[in-house]
């Protein structure tokens, strides 16, 4: 299996040849901006990996329990920053741009090549990232996915007991039945009577409001509706005036007209 640096060098060469072949034709396209950023960032990452290998090769450690050299630490921090920048800002934009290029029938082959190169770069970056960060990101993504799956539909998927719909009239009848019970004390009977009276009042108000809504409008409102209906009605045509009878010449020329 090739090392991450060798895989990145292969992807860098492919991106460089693609840039050399398509610069004049596609340099003003929308996807070419993301492509140029990816190509430059991969070149810088390869250079930083070479610097890290050189620092690790020539760094001298006095004891095994001592920390690594400051040059190795600085080189590793640069690589981590570059990888983090690629993961958070570059790869997503490149995938969106390259997938739109694949959707274009004229340049779909070029889009597939770029998507494949992007997949290779992403696999190399996964190798460079520490295992702890990968596990943490995967656990967060799985937790978010579980929350979306649980609350996405909004239906009762767990089949919880949500109870039954109870009509208020049934409660009213139950209160009357309790009132007739001999075991109910005097205080309880007074509370039940007050509850029944309150329920009866609310029911009467509801029936009155519904009846008032069904009544026809009368008085000034009705007169206003009739006046509006008359105003919007089509006007009747005035009767035609009869021509006066003339002499023989008028009869003659009227036939010509």
CB-based contacts of 198, cutoff 8 Å, min separation 6: none
Q: How confident is the model at residue 146 (pLDDT cuts 50, 70, 90)?
A: low
**204 within a domain of the structure (yes/no):** no
Residue 139: is its pLDDT beyond 70? no
pLDDT of residue 132: 37
Q: How confident is the model at residue 135 (pLDDT cuts 50, 70, 90)?
A: very low
Q: Rounded distance, CA 177 to CA 155, Å?
A: 38
Contact 50, 4 (CB under 8 A): no
More confident residue, 150 or 39: 39
**196 within a domain of the structure (yes/no):** no
More confident residue, 206 or 127: 127
**180 within a domain of the structure (yes/no):** no
Residue 125: is its pLDDT beyond 70? yes
pLDDT of residue 204: 72
Residue 49: is its pLDDT beyond 60? yes
Residue 161: is its pLDDT beyond 70? no
Q: Stretch 60-65: mean pLDDT, rounded?
A: 53
Residue 15: is its pLDDT beyond 80? yes
Q: How confident is the model at residue 194 (pLDDT cuts 50, 70, 90)?
A: confident
pLDDT of residue 147: 44
**31 within a domain of the structure (yes/no):** yes
**68 within a domain of the structure (yes/no):** yes
Q: Stretch 200-215: mean pLDDT, rounded?
A: 66
> pLDDT tens digit string along 63-113?
455 677 888 889 989 999 999 999 999 999 999 999 999 998 899 999 999
Cα 225 from chain centre? 48
**29 within a domain of the structure (yes/no):** yes
Q: Rounded distance, CA 82 to CA 52, Å?
A: 13
**14 within a domain of the structure (yes/no):** yes
As for how many domains the chain has, the answer is 1
**27 within a domain of the structure (yes/no):** yes
Which residue segment(s) compose the domain that 52 sits in? 4-135
Rg (CA), the chain: 44
- Cα-flanking dihedrals φ and ψ of residue 42, to 5°? -65, -40
**Beta strand residue intervals within the chain, DSSP E:** none
Question: Which of helix, strand or coil describes residue 165?
Answer: coil
Q: How many H-runs (helices) and E-runs (strands) does the chain carry? A: 10, 0
């Amino acid at each position: 299996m090739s090392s991450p640096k060798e895989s990145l060098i292969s992807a860098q060469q492919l991106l460089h040849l693609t840039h050399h072949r398509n610069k004049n034709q596609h340099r003003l396209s929308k996807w070419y901006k993301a492509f140029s950023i990816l190509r430059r960032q991969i070149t810088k990452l390869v250079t930083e990996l070479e610097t890290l290998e050189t620092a690790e090769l020539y760094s001298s450690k006095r004891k095994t329990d001592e920390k690594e050299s400051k040059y190795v630490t600085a080189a590793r921090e640069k690589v981590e920053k570059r990888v983090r920048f690629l993961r958070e800002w570059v790869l997503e934009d490149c995938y969106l741009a390259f997938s739109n290029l694949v959707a274009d029938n004229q340049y779909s082959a070029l889009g597939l090549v770029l998507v494949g190169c992007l997949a290779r770069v992403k696999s190399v970056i996964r190798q460079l990232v520490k295992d702890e960060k990968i596990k943490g990101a995967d656990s967060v993504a799985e937790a978010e996915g579980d929350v979306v799956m649980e609350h996405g539909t909004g239906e009762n998927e767990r089949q919880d007991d949500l109870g039954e719909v109870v009509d208020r009239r049934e409660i009213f009848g139950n209160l009357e039945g309790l009132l007739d019970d001999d075991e109910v004390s005097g205080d309880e009977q007074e509370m039940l009577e007050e509850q029944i009276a309150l329920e009866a009042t609310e029911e009467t108000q509801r029936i009155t409001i519904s009846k008032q809504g069904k009544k026809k409008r009368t008085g000034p409102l009705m007169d206003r509706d009739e006046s509006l209906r008359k105003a919007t009605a089509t006007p009747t045509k005035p009767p035609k005036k009869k021509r006066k009878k003339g002499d023989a010449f008028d009869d003659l020329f009227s036939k010509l007209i």
